[in-house]
Amino acid sequence: MVASQVYVFDIDGVIRTFTPERMAARLDAELGLPVGVIEDAAFADPLGRDLVEGRMTRAEWVDELAEIVAGAARDADAARSIVAEWATDIGQLIPETLELIDELRQEHPVFALTNGTDRTTHELDTHGIADRFHRVLNSHEIGVAKPAPDCYARAHALIEQTLGSAVSPASVHFTDDLSANIEAAAQFGWRAVQFTDAAALRSSLAAELAS
C-alpha cells in the first residue's frame, strides 16, 4: 500500500458544522415552515452551484435566496429577515478534526478542498484556522465544484503548483463527508475516505500510516 504524503480535507461537515435547528423557532413561529427549508433552497441547482463555481458572490446568493424564501412564505418581510440572520452563521469548528490536522501537518502538507464562496477565506480567518493549511482550494476560484471530475484535476494541479513538485494521485488522502465527492475523488485516483467522525478518521489514518 502506498503511504499518503498529502492530506486534503473538505471543510463543511468535516472541519466545521452548522446547526440549522437554531432557526427553528423563528421559522415555525413567523413563517410556519420547517427546519431545513432555507438550506434546501440555498443549495438547490442552479443557485447553489452558481455560488460555489464562482458565478455569483455570496452577497448576491443571499439576496436571491431571501427572495425565493419570501416568495413562498406567508410573511415576506419576516422571511427576508430570517434568511439574513441565517446567513450570518459561519458554523462551529470540530475540535477533534483540527487536532488531527495539527498532528498531520507537522510532517505532511495539508490542504483544504471546499465547495466555497468568495467569503470562505474571511470565514476561516474569523475562525482562526486559515493558517492550518498549505493552501485552501476553493471551487469558487477553481471554477468547478465537487463532485465534477475536473474539480479534482484542477485541485491536484494546484497542489503540485503549491508544493513545487509532481505528486502521485495515490499519495493524496482525501476526506469528505459526502459519498458522491468521495467516489469522484477515488475515480480520479486519490485515496478517499468518507468522514463520519474524527475518531473514525483517526483510526483509519493510523491504520494506513502503520501499513
Cβ count near 189 (within 10 Å): 15
Nearest CA to 169 out of 182, 153, 150, 180 is that of: 153
pLDDT at site 209: 72
pLDDT at site 139: 98
pLDDT in tens, 112-166: 999 999 999 999 999 999 999 999 999 999 999 999 999 999 999 999 999 999 9
Residue 198: pLDDT over 80: yes
pTM: 0.94
Distance between CA atoms of 25 and 133, rounded to whole angstroms? 37
Nearest CA to 136 out of 118, 153, 148, 147 is that of: 118
* Angle of CA points 34, 79, 177, to nearest 5°: 50
User: Mean pLDDT over residues 198-207, rounded?
Assistant: 90
pLDDT in tens, 30-75: 999 999 999 999 999 999 999 999 999 999 999 999 999 999 899 9
Residue 104: pLDDT over 80: yes
List C-alpha distances in Å: 121 to 106, 112, 116, 193. 22, 11, 9, 25
**pLDDT classification of 4: cutoffs 50, 70, 90:** low
Q: Are 23 and 35 in contact (CB under 8 A)?
A: yes
pLDDT at site 1: 43
Residue 2: pLDDT over 70: no
User: Mean pLDDT over residues 16-34, rounded?
Assistant: 92
